Each structure stands twice: as C-alpha cells, then as structure tokens.
Structure 1
C-alpha cells in the first residue's frame, strides 16, 4: 500500500507517519506540506508545496496512491468562524475535490474530533464547521472515506504536540497516563492506536464512515 500524508508534523500526523514507516505492508509514504520534515527513511518522500491545493507535483505518483491520511488541522482558539472555516473547511474541500478528480480510486481518511456536530446546527462553532466538512467529504466519490474523531490522545514513542502549552500539559501529566488510559477507555486513545487504526481502516475498511474513540481502539487491534 502506498499512502499520502498531510499534517505530518502535528501530533496525529506524527503518529500516523511513525506507524506507516514501521509497517512492512506500506511500501511508499508521500508527505505533502508547506515545510520539510526532519524524518528520513528509505520509503519516505517529502513534497514541499506552499499551495496545498495545487497537486501538480504529485501527478506522477497519484495513480499509485491507495490512501490519503488528512491529519492537517488547527485549533479554533482565537479564531472567528470565518477564519476557522477558511482553514478547516475551505482548504480541506479544495484539496479533496482536486484529489478525487485526479485519483478517485483511493481511501480518504480525515481527522476531525470527538463531539463533532454532524447536524451543522449546534452552538459550538468548531463542531459545526467540522461537521459540515465531514458531511461534504463523505459526498465525494472516493473509493471509501472515513472521518476519525479522536478525543484525548496520549503521546507515545517521542510523539509531541507542536503547541507549546499543550506539550507542557502532557509533560506535567505524563505520570497519570496509565491511569487515564484505564479510566477513560471511550474518551482517550494513544498515538500508536490512532496510527494503527487509520492504517487498518485504509487497508481493510470499516462498517461505518464515522470512527469514534471506541472504534479507533477496536481498529487499532484489527
């Protein structure tokens, strides 16, 4: 399986990248982002492109891509709805529409978040925007599409948050990680679990397009 990964420097993207590089069944990993990544590996190919919706540099490899892991995202903190929608909905949909035009025969996996609002009518801004993004992605004619909704993510194996204050919280609470995993199995996953779950969904499929925390844990062991 050959995969395309967006958001490789974020916590989820790091998790997926690590598991992809460790998985012998994944032959090639292509990362697509605005800046280079520091990881090197024989099967890793890093494409740097400022305009993420311009897939021209990928045209030669897209026919070989079996799955796209879209792990790119931002926090809504400090943003109004128009600003957040521009990054979360507009950019995602522009990219996905161009991707499905060029390579419809792939599985598209999108990372949203727990409590995403599928009705698009709720009071929480980010949840409405994420909900619309999910709904419209599922209308595109990909081979298959899955919307991953992780809750809390416990980082493993050197995975770190890019956001300073978030990483500081992880550092302080690290001794509690084993307790949190046991106490909140339907709310918390590890970085390894989400990486494995996304790979397994891409490889084997899943009965439903919306993948909640409990589904992530189940898929990780598939």
Structure 2
C-alpha cells in the first residue's frame, strides 16, 4: 500500500515512519512536513511544505494513496484555544478534506488522545473531540487512535523538552508501569504497526484506545 505521513518528525510520527519502512505491506511512503525527517530509504519520498491550510502547490502529489497517517500535533500547554485549534483542527481538516476529494474511501488514521471529548471541559479534549467528529463525517475510512502513555522505542524521542526528561525518568520504571497500567500503555512501535493493520484491513470500531491499538 502507498501511505502519506504527516508529522513524521515528531515522536509518534518517527515511530510510525520506522514501522512503515520496515513493513512489507507498505510499498511507498510520502512524508509531508515543514522539516525533513533526516531518514533515507528507497521507499521514502519527502515534500517540504509549511502551510497545511494551503495545499494547492502540492495537491498533485497527494492523490492515489491508500492511507494517510496523521501524526502531527502539539501540546496544549501554554497555548490559547485559537492557536491550538489552528494546529489541531484546521490543519487536520485541511488535509483530510483534500484527501477525501482526491482519494475518497481511503484510510485516514488520526492520532488523538485518551480523554478526548467534544463536550469536555478541558480545552484540548474539546478541540480534539470536534476534530474527531469532523473527520468521521468525511467520505474517508477514518480511525481515531487514542493512545494513553506512549513508550518511545528504538531511539525515537519527543521534540518537547519536558516530555524528553519525563521519558528518561520513566524508562527504568517501564516494566512496573506496564504491570500496573498495561492496558493503558502502548509504544511507538505498536502504534505504527496498528496503523498499518488498520489501513490494510480496517478495525471493528472507529475510535481505538490503547488496548485496541495493542491488540491490532
């Protein structure tokens, strides 16, 4: 299958990219983003594009793909709702609406989060919930991944300094955390593998929590 990847330089995106390049089910990956991934591979092609609200210049490159793995996102910490909504809702829907027009019925896997709720009190949960609902209304095979704690694997790291420090502290405790909170935890490796499986053959439901991701 041919895959488009957004957010390939972030923690989740880098993990997903690694799995796509390793998996024989994926024949080609097109990574779109502001910055290069720094990865060289025969299956990988990259497009540098900064403004996801205006895809006209690259639209001709986006059609004919079987799936889109949308891993782009930011932490809401210190952000107002307008700025957070621009990245979380506006960027995502701009891409998804374009792909729905170019490749209707293709798979679109969106990285959301545990606690997402369009009616929630927390700003981030509400905006992500609205994003999920809008994606599910499009003519795409859309799936919402709601991971909880994500353990980075194979040298993948977060771009957020606070999260990098937190993962360093938590790494020695991972076996205990997995024992205590096993169903609520996943890894960058499992997320990537689950996305490929969903794109290949679907899933029993459209909103998938950590245990669903691990099962896939």
**TM superposition score normalised by structure 1:** 0.93
Q: Is the 8 A contact 1:32 1:52 kept in 2?
A: no
Instruction: Please provide the CA RMSD for this pair.
Output: 1.2
Out of 188, 209, 212, the position equivalent to 1:212 is: 209
Q: Name the SS for the 1:57 alignment partner.
A: helix
Residue equivalent to 1:62:
63
- Distance in 1 (alpha carbons) for counterparts of 2:148 and 2:198: 18
Structure 1 segment 27-176 matched on structure 2, within 5 A: 27-53=27-53, 54-60=55-61, 62-63=63-64, 65-117=65-117, 120-142=118-140, 144-176=141-173
Q: Name the SS for the 2:203 alignment partner.
A: coil
Q: Is the 8 A contact 2:52 2:94 kept in 1?
A: no
- Distance in 2 (alpha carbons) for counterparts of 1:195 and 1:30: 15
Q: Name the SS for the 1:147 alignment partner.
A: strand
Q: Is the 8 A contact 2:62 2:99 kept in 1?
A: no
Q: Is the 8 A contact 1:109 1:146 kept in 2?
A: yes
Change (3 A) 1:61 1:91: closer
Q: Name the SS for the 1:59 alignment partner.
A: helix
Residue equivalent to 1:193:
190
- Distance in 2 (alpha carbons) for counterparts of 1:123 and 1:51: 30
Q: Is the 8 A contact 1:55 1:98 kept in 2?
A: no
- Distance in 2 (alpha carbons) for counterparts of 1:13 and 1:68: 12
Q: Is the 8 A contact 1:14 1:159 kept in 2?
A: yes
**TM superposition score normalised by structure 2:** 0.96
Q: How many residues align?
A: 215
Q: Which runs of 4+ in 1 moved over 4 A?
A: none
- Distance in 2 (alpha carbons) for counterparts of 1:7 and 1:61: 15
Q: Name the SS for the 1:39 alignment partner.
A: coil
Deviation at 1:58, TM superposition (A): 4.7
- Distance in 2 (alpha carbons) for counterparts of 1:60 and 1:123: 39
- Distance in 2 (alpha carbons) for counterparts of 1:164 and 1:69: 24
Q: Name the SS for the 2:39 alignment partner.
A: coil
Structure 1: gaps spanning 5 or more residues? none
Deviation at 1:61, TM superposition (A): 5.4
Structure 2: gaps spanning 5 or more residues? none
Deviation at 1:35, TM superposition (A): 1.2
